[in-house]
Each structure stands twice: as C-alpha cells, then as structure tokens.
Structure 1
C-alpha cells in the first residue's frame, strides 16, 4: 500500500517540479552577440519595430499590421539564436517567430526551419512549435514536420534563449541550451540544402495558430508584443569559401551531441513534447519517409 501511495505521489508531481538536467555544454556562450543593425534589416512593418541600444528589438502587431526582420546575408549552415520574451495574457491567433527560410529566393518552392510561439488564452501555456519544410509552399500543399512543446518556464516572465543549429548533417533546436529536437539528414529529398536567411516576425495566424483556429486574435488586447535581444549568428554564409567548416553546438567538432545533451533532449521530449508529426496516424506517412527510414 505504501508503495502504491508513493507511485501515485510521483505521478501527481507537477512538471514544474521536475529537475532540469544539465546539457553539459552551452552553445549560446560560444557565439558572440551581433549588433542588430549589423546582422539584420527591417523586412516589413517598420512603424511596428523599435531598436534600443543596437541590440534590443521590439516588434508588435495591431489590427493594422505586424512586423518582421531579415538577416542581411544568406547562410548555408550555422548557429542562429536569440533571447526572446513573449506577451502575457490573451494572445490567441498571434505567432511570434524566429526562423530560417529561402521563400523570397524560391517562392512557392522554398525550404524553412521554424521556431514559432503559438499564442494562447489566459490560463493555458504557450506552445513552441518547431517545424521543417523542404521545397514546400503556402499553397495548401505544404508538408509540415511539426513537433510541439510546452515549456518548463513562463516565457512571458523573462527572456530565454532559443536557437537553431543547421549543419549539413542535422538540424537541432535548443531552448536555454537544452536540445529539444534533432532532425537528422536521412535523404537529400527530406533535408534543406539551399542557402537560407534568418528571419523574425509577429503576425496574425488566427486560422490555425491556437487550438486549430478555435480562438482568434482579439484586437481588444492590442498591441501584441514580441521582444528579442542577444542575437547570435555563427556559421558559413552563402558567400563563404567552400573551405568554411560548419560550426558545432556540442563539445565535438563533428557536431555530434554529447551523452549529456542527448539525456537532456530525452528529458524535454518525455515531459514537454505535446505533438510529434511522426506519430500522428491521421497523416499520410508516405509524405514523410524520414519517420520510417
């Protein structure tokens, strides 16, 4: 009986009380902070963008428009990070994003690697959506490879580090230096290989962002604000010589995750993963062969 009570007590422990494992390696400390004006430019909604101290960026969405920014150079691999703080309260329908894309270079046939924060309603957590598109488009034929997470902290209370490592062999998503997802290259047909730019934006995605569009953006609560700082970019630009070596986000030059990093990733997926496209049996698995390779 005592053993049963102990097991029940362990099951009932809230996830916020679960010890956060150390990844043993902190890639965000290995790359220097980039001056916003050196690394980026406004893409749209300049009247909804403010930069302070050359590195603290605020963008916002109201009923008129949102805002977005773009890196000055395209890259063929690299580490891309920023510290981000999200809007509290009612944010349903609103997307705050940090992502790689070549949509402007290949419209209708682009690659994309996303970190997207899906807005929510009071009392419910933000969802962090990671996604990978390969030669997709926004015409309804896009094949998403979504993995969604809740977080082990309140992303509206303070800044936290979010990053993408894109190498010739894999894509790794990080939250506060904990790898939460690894997307390996299993085929040239299921992995982005063409140069991409780094973007950030805030915009209205009411059709799908919150509980599949159940809750829409409500401009009674405008403006919706996203704050970014501590931008990190390290890697090979599209213009770098072929001798440029891809950067690593692990203790190993090869980029292979360490045992501690794998353990931390398993922890994140065990307790905070809420959706995995590879395990969604409603989807056509023939369109995502990497799930079964």
Structure 2
C-alpha cells in the first residue's frame, strides 16, 4: 500500500485542481467595467488628458452609432461609457466598449492626438504647399542615421565634379507615403517619435528664412552695415572660375553690385526646389555671409 500512496495523492490533487479550474472557468465579470479590466484595459476615465479626443478621432463611426448623435463630442463618449460601465448585461456592446471606453489607441495618429491634443504639428495634407513641406522636411533630415532606409528612398548616384543631384520631388513623395502609412500603423513608441520628427514641417522655406531662423541675419553681406565685407568678398572671388562662369548670375557688370544682386536673388530661393540645399546654399553661405 505504501507504493500506492503517491498515486492516490496525485489523484486527490487532480480532483482539487480540476475543481478549482472548473470554478474559475464559470466566473464571469459582474459588470462591463470589470470585464474591461479583466481584459487588461485601462479605463479611459482614469487616463485623463486628451484621451477622449483621440478616441473620438479614431472611432467616430462607433461613437455615432452608440450615442445616436451625428456630431458627437468628447463629453458624449464619456457619458456613454460612464452610464454603461455598471451594466451587468454587456454582451451586446462589450466589443465597442473595448474600443471607446479604454486607453488603447490603435494607430500612431490616435497616439499623437492623445499626447498632444491634435496633429497640427505635422504636415497638413490639405494644404496646397504640402508637397513643398515634405521635400524640405526630407532635405534637412535625410542625414539622420537610418532615415533613407526607413522611408525607402535611394538617392541618385552622384557624378564626380558635377552638381549634386537630390531628386527632391521623388524624395518628398517617398516621405509623404511613409508618413501616411505610419500614421495608420500600430503606435510603437519609436515609430511615434519618428513620425513627429520626420513628418513635421520646418520653420523656414527659403534661404533667407533659414538664415533668420539661425539668428544670422546680421551676417548678411547685403546688409548696409556690412558693405566693407561685401567689397572684400567680391575682391576675393571676382576672378575665380566658380564666380565668372556661375550660370546663376544675372548681371556681369564686373562690379561689387553683381555679387550683391546674386546674394539677393539666391536668398529668395526655396529649399523645395532641386539643388538649392546641396548646391546653392553652400555657395550662398560662402559668398553672402561674413565670418562670425
């Protein structure tokens, strides 16, 4: 009999175990709130901030259906959830509640709205200037490690001794496509941060606006206070082939005003145009700004 004791012990334990499992299996959350919490959700009412705004943006069709309002507000969702959380008969709306009553953004767009209250910091796709905005954002952020692979863009091959080719139009389109795709993707923290970085517009569009943004306006040689530096720069470059054969020159009077005219024309150039960042801007800084 001594050898049989372990078997009986195991049988007894099994009986207790199955009984415990059976009891647990028939447990049912007492109400909707407990159901949501057992599913691992955090109630939206406990989150605060812009959570209701994010939910409204992401699940408006469900909210319209549940609240019976064509143009529901944040308080309408909150009210619906508050009145239904105590419900014990929740089977018919638990799935919708798990979307509109909990802190569980499903997209990067919703996550950004939850954090910031809107997506106004990103490039607005309804603006006529959006193509330019994406191009400029690309050209100033392309040097960040991993960006080109991330947006799936391969810059054109460069030819030795030739001006740099940017292919900025296609680059802007690649960034735009990536931004749109990412906004609809699952909100991983790294992706959210990358979208905020890459899909937001710059504070400048033209060469002069960048100079002003960098607090360098007083360094412009076109400023009357810097006339002596302008003359010195002209004397430095006037016989160089890079100046005498520059195709962007508009006047050839062989006077200092030629340089001033060139600087004033170039400072109006927009970085959304091909070659302005890579070819014109470096020359502008050399020719049109005095040393700090």
TM-score band (shorter)?
under 0.3
Instruction: Give the alignment's TM-score, normalised by structure 1.
Output: 0.19
Q: Considering fraction of residues, name the structure with more helix.
A: 2
Q: Considering fraction of residues, name the structure with more strand.
A: 1
> Which structure ranks higher in relative contact order (CA pairs < 8 Å, sequence separation ≥ 6)?
1
Instruction: Give the alignment's TM-score, normalised by structure 2.
Output: 0.19
